[in-house]
Amino acid sequence: MMIRRENIKRVIGNTAKKFIIILSVVAMLSTAFAGCGEEKYKGSKYTGGKTGPSYTPTPVATETPEPAGTAVGTLTGTPEPTKAAANTPTNTPGPTKAAEATVTPAPTEVPKRTFTNGTAGDLEGRCLILTVFVSMDRFPWNFTTDEDNATYENVCRSIGVATDYIKENCKKYGKDVEFIYDYLEDWELSYFTDIGDYTERYDDIDYAMIYGVGEYVDYAIDIDTVMDKYDADNLLFVYVANTDAEQDFAYTCCRPWYDGFEWPFESVIMYNYDCGVLNPPSVYAHEICHLFGAPDLYNEEYADYNFTKEFYNEYVRKNATNDIMFTCMNMEDVNYVYDRITNEIGPVTAYYLGLSDDDSIIKKYKLRKSEH
């Protein structure tokens, strides 16, 4: 069958027109759908992938900060974290505004305390007492028992009677002192440690208490921090061993500071029982006074303070037999009492405690001068 050339041209022309029309329609639909998709996902969490088309906002111009000064330890012009602009999809960086450079002052380091004569300085102001309960193989603490809990409370009461006594005597000399000690009210004022078999490392129990517990205190307690917390002017420790009525080899003593001692903190070495006798508050007061500079008066001779037999016989025996640094007993019946202290703080003891400037007796017997 023959097809005329004119018919062929006509068919091709009609087909081309239809094809052009179809392409135009497709292009229009693509544009319409693209616009709809952009608005749908703009400002949403979707950024492309399987959930929808990606959207990248048009960045805006940034402002350049003016130069800023440089502080010690501060990088100049370090920008602050930037916030994404409104309607910015998550995980897509938004337009940022350059942060203004800030000047941060260098941190000021607080100097640590220096202790010229140990942590027990002048007997005035706020005096912090931290009590450390010391377990050892022979004399452990067991606070699941009523007996040890009663001892724990009794030690606190004894410290209270002792410090009240010292406080009242300080007032007589015009000195104000406040003691912070009550671990029954504030448990952070008491500590616990175990030195185990002290004979493995130390010659005797006194050295174990001084150095064994001293190592614990040096490691576990920051002196500056605890004194800052309680706004304390002085600090002393009371180490308490749970000795019983049968022990007969330890006597309560103290470790005042001296030039060359390992640590600045000063401590009372308190044995609950000394040679079968429960220690009363007067013994606590006696030892605390040692830490503030008061010497024993019961020695006939005491080279450290230039005490001589002449001083002992002429002055002490006649004037100071009821001084707290001579005896801890109630002289009315020559016995210990547990609810009060009946001893005195006489002129010599007051001088060495820094409560009095009267040095007439010291000059008369050529005794050593006070450290206060």
CA 1 to chain centre: 112
User: What is the secondary structure of 94-113 as a DSSP string?
Assistant: ----PPPP---PPPPPPPPP
- Checking if the pLDDT of 231 tops 80, the result is yes
pTM score:
0.70
pLDDT in tens, 249-298: 788 999 887 778 888 889 999 999 998 899 999 999 999 999 999 999 99
Q: What is the pLDDT of residue 233?
A: 95
Q: What is the pLDDT of residue 17?
A: 53
pLDDT in tens, 174-227: 999 999 999 999 999 999 999 988 777 877 888 889 999 999 999 999 999 999
Task: Round to whole Å and give the CA distance between 128 and 227.
Answer: 7
Which range in 93-102, 106-115, 194-203, 223-232 is most confidently predicted, on average pLDDT?
Answer: 223-232
pLDDT in tens, 44-66: 332 333 333 333 334 444 444 44
- Checking if the pLDDT of 158 tops 80, the result is yes
Q: What is the 3-state secondary structure (H, E, C) of 295-347?
A: CCCCCCCEHHHCECHHHHHHHHHHHCCCECCCCCCECCCCECCCCCCCCECCH
